[in-house]
Homo-oligomer: A and B are copies of this chain.
Amino acid sequence: MAKKGKNAISPTRQEDYAAWYQEVVKVSDMAENSPARGCMIIKPWGYAVWENITKELDRAFKERGVKNAYFPIFIPLRFLEAEAAHVEGFAKECAVVTHHRLEAGPDGGLVPAGPLTEPYIVRPTSETIIGEAFSRWINSYRDLPVLINQWANVVRWEMRTRIFLRTSEFLWQEGHTAHASADEAKQRTAMMLEVYRDFAENWLAMPVLAGEKTAAERFPGAESTFCIEAMMQDCKALQAGTSHFLGQNFAKASNIRFQSEKGAEEFAWTTSWGVSTRMIGGMIMTHSDDDGLVLPPRLAPAHIVLMPILKDPDSNQAVLEFVRTLSRRLSSIPYLNGHIRVEVDDRDMGGKNWDWIKKGIPLRVEIGPRDIAQNAVFVARRDKPPSERQSMDTEIFVSEVPIMLEEIQANLFDRAKAYREANTRDIDSKDDFYAWFTPKNAEKPEIHGGFALAHWCGSPQCEAKIKDDLTVTIRLVPENTDAQKGRCIVCDKASNQRVVFAKAY
């Protein structure tokens, strides 16, 4: 952890992790709370990260045959009611549109008018309204599979909100597919989970565990829910993406039927899968430090900031020209699916360097008259302490930029993975388990052990006891791990597998 200087984030992660996070979001200029309760304003620096996320995920979806479409934001009440578990899960916290006009009220202010015969809810997710469309689009096995994705805003009326992590309105993508067989739908569920895992690790530089949710943690209406889970720096888990095998539940609720190759009428098998702006919160909490935001280069809105040092009127012009030429050169260097993204900060003021540290830009480059004389630049990397800067020959710097960015990307991933591993433990005794999740310091109840890999018999009762006692949940049942005999951490009954227990966002 970098030494705390006068420009560092206050409080630090150790002092108050939740307040540290809010402060990082604020000083990096990523987003802010809005006057609409629980809704955020995503500012340009934050939105550019979302644009980069959407670009890459969209490419991955399209490579897998998925096409984008757009469905209404309003869901008629009766649609939500069609799937019993689904309505139970989503009716509790939703925005309800009841009127379609405003008119002057008795005290002169505006009041709702034009009551609707049937209220609409603002979509919390779109299984029901997309299901209705699928029921019309699908008639024969020849129409299958249908592979649709939607980039959209959704609303869940959350009581306690935290910017990016849990907001009343958020941006996301929701994939919805329909298939002729359960197997094919299950394969698609797994395929999209793998897209998320790959993206989280290789773009967000955020190591994740992948696996299946228990029945208690499933998406309302799903047969099975799969997820990726990451560890934040307070050792809590963040669910960063989910992929659901919906069986025939929603096909039955929405009447999605098709004539099979053999001529029989069958219900389709559907899936849904989504990631949201929450990923940005996970990225921030995974990499940032007490100096502010740290951005993985692959998703950074800009890779490099060039900061001319303008102290001497005689040389200012030459410095600015050098910087502009360098900026053009750097911007033409290919990197990933595009080019190096460069910012030039020629504001005539102090504190520029710290502004960019807090904004998490991967490379900061200072250029003054003395550097130019040597055809050199002064380079600092955001994955190193602010004091660790080096003079580099300009030609070498230009040729090494993509390599340095990929190094930073790899460093961030490795560091986060080492952190997770250091804070994950196989636990076999109930006492150790309870001790692991009990805060060592009563003043900082959030600081606890981390992830526990422990045996679980499979009973909802044992799962519920842990949740009641420790606010710890089973984050996932890992996939593709060797069976391992053991005894349930709660009831001591036989178990075949360790599952991941953690406190969670």
Chain A residues near B (Cβ < 8 Å): 32, 34-37, 39-44, 47-48, 50-51, 67-77, 79-81, 87, 91-103, 109-110, 112, 114, 119-122, 129, 132-133, 148, 152-153, 155, 157, 169, 171
Contacts and interface: CB of A to CB of B under 8 A. Distances in A.
Given A36-B75, A42-B70, A69-B44, A112 B129 contact: no
B35 A76 contact: yes
Contact of A47 (B32, B43, B69, B169): B69
A96 B101 contact: yes
A74 B110 contact: no
Contacts of A133: 32, 34, 41
B110 A91 contact: yes
A129 B34 contact: yes
26 contacts: A34-B71, A35-B76, A35-B129, A36-B73, A36-B76, A36-B129, A39-B73, A41-B71, A41-B133, A47-B67, A47-B68, A47-B70, A72-B169, A74-B169, A87-B102, A91-B102, A91-B110, A94-B102, A95-B120, A96-B97, A96-B98, A96-B101, A99-B119, A114-B157, A152-B153, A153-B153
B44 A79 contact: no
Contact of A67 (B39, B44, B70): B44
A394 B69 CA distance: 34
Given A94-B102, A157-B100, A148 B44 contact: yes
Q: Can you tell how many copies of this chain the complex includes? A: 2
Contact of A132 (B35, B42, B74, B87): B35
A254 to B, nearest CB: 11
B74 A95 contact: yes
A103 B41 CA distance: 30
Contacts of A98: 96-99, 112
A100 B96 contact: yes
Contacts of A74: 36-37, 39, 95, 169
A86 to B, nearest CB: 12
A504 B148 CA distance: 35
Contact of A101 (B81, B93, B110): B93
A121 B42 CA distance: 20
Contact of A41 (B44, B69, B77, B99): B69
Contact of A100 (B47, B73, B95, B132): B95
A25 to B, nearest CB: 14
A366 B153 CA distance: 42
